[in-house]
Amino acid sequence: FESKTSSRTFRQVLDNTSGLEKVQLNLALLEDYNRRNNMRITGIPNNAEGGNVVAFLQESLPKWLPSLANKTIEIERAHRVQTMILRLFRHADRTAILNGARAAARNGPIQHAGNTPRFYADYSAQMSQRRKAFSRIQKKLRGKGIMSFLIYPATLRISLHGEQHYFTTPDAKLIKFDLNGPRFNLENSSVLNKSVIVTYLVMLRIFYIVNVRSI
């Protein structure tokens, strides 16, 4: 761990949740681990897959995402509800698709038959809700031309003037907007420094090893 201070701050963040919420979070983490090879794709017209979702995706992914042109993506299974849900054989392939989608989007919206496919990791319902809570703040940041990114499980990272700021709660009061850009309330305990995030990710890794690999 980075330091006693970082570990103490991390524990304080966890202490903000009740015992029941901690149990629910642990269950969500376990469910997300089981879904680690899953992802969702939205924005594809109905019946575009012609009855074979796997074949459609294997043909279309390299067209949508140039970074996958010389890479073999193995799909274990796929189906459509309102969105396309697929399970990959390897977690690395999910990462390659998500990274490829971000890279392709820098050159403009990804297109398929006049529609824009969008790519998401497939999280549990609880985790999806926690992450969705940041949508309004991220929309404001995009409007200001400021980069932001959600770190798993639900921490908002904001890059500004070469510095990284981290928020664990979607509290709009933490970010005050004016003509010169946002100002951050860095005294709030919901804002974490980089060393605390490293500690957080290390502890998540330990959680997976102890609680999942032993099953």
Q: Please check whether residues 53 and 22 belong to one and the same domain.
A: no
Task: Provide the pLDDT for residue 204.
Answer: 57
Cα–Cα distance, 77 to 68 (Å, whole number): 19
**Parent domain of 22:** 4-34+126-211
Q: Is this model's pTM higher than 0.75 or not?
A: no
Per-residue pLDDT of 18-45, as tens digits, reads: 677 777 777 888 899 999 999 999 999 9
Same domain for 161 and 130: yes
Is residue 124 scored above 80 in pLDDT? yes
From 91, 122, 153, the end of a domain falls on 122
CATH of residue 105's domain is 3.30.70.1820
Angstrom distance (rounded) from CA 196 to CA 5: 9
Tell me the average pLDDT across 75-80: 96
pLDDT digits (tens, 9 = 90+) for 46-59: 999 998 999 999 99
At 214 the pLDDT is 42
Number of domains in the chain: 2
> Is residue 23 located within the same domain as residue 9?
yes
Q: Are residues 8 and 70 in the same domain?
A: no
